[in-house]
Amino acid sequence: MKTIDELISQGVSGKRVFVRADLNVPLADGVITDDGRIRAVLPTLTALVEAGVKVVVASHLGRPKGEPDPAFSLLPAAERIGELLGRPVAFAQDTVGPAAHEAVDGLEPGQLAVIENLRFNPGETSKDDAERGDFAERLSHLADVYVGDGFGAVHRKHASVYDLPKLLPHYAGYLIATEVGVLKKLTEDVKRPYAVVLGGAKVSDKLGVIDHLLERADRILVGGGMVFTFLAAKGYEVGASLLQEDQIPVVQEYLKRAAEKGVEFVLPSDVVVARSFPDLKAKAPTEHETVAADAIPADGIGLDIGPESQARYAAKLADAKTVFWNGPMGVFEHPDFADGTRAVAQALVDSEGFTVVGGGDSAAAVRILGFDESAFSHISTGGGASLEYLEGASLPGLAALED
Binding residues for ATP: 206, 302, 333, 359-362
Q: Is 384 a catalytic residue?
A: yes
Could you list the residues known to form a binding site, using ranges. Answer: 22-24, 37, 60-63, 119, 156, 206, 302, 333, 359-362
**Largest pairwise CA distance in the chain:** 67
Q: In the sheet that 378-379 helps form, which strands lie side by side, from edge to edge?
A: 264-266, 219-222, 194-198, 322-326, 354-357, 378-379
**Which residues does the annotation place in the binding site for substrate?**
22-24, 37, 60-63, 119, 156
Active-site hit among 360, 382, 383, 397 = 360
In 3-state terms, what secondary structure has residue 107?
Answer: coil
CB atoms within 10 A of CB 62: 15
Residue of 148, 200, 300, 384 marked active site: 384
The letter for the amino acid at 274 is A
Catalytic residue among 16, 37, 157, 342: 37
Helix axis angle, 36-50 to 360-368, nearest 10° = 100
CA-atom Rg of the chain in angstroms? 22
Q: Are 317 and 197 in contact (CB under 8 A)?
A: yes
Q: Is 367 a catalytic residue?
A: no
Of 92, 3, 78, 88, the C-alpha closest to 49 is 88
Concerning whether 36 is annotated as a catalytic residue, the answer is no
Burial of 370 (0-12, 13-18, 19+ CB in 10 A): exposed
Cα–Cα distance, 130 to 43 (Å, whole number): 34
Residue 157: active-site member: no
Residues designated catalytic: 37, 202, 360, 384
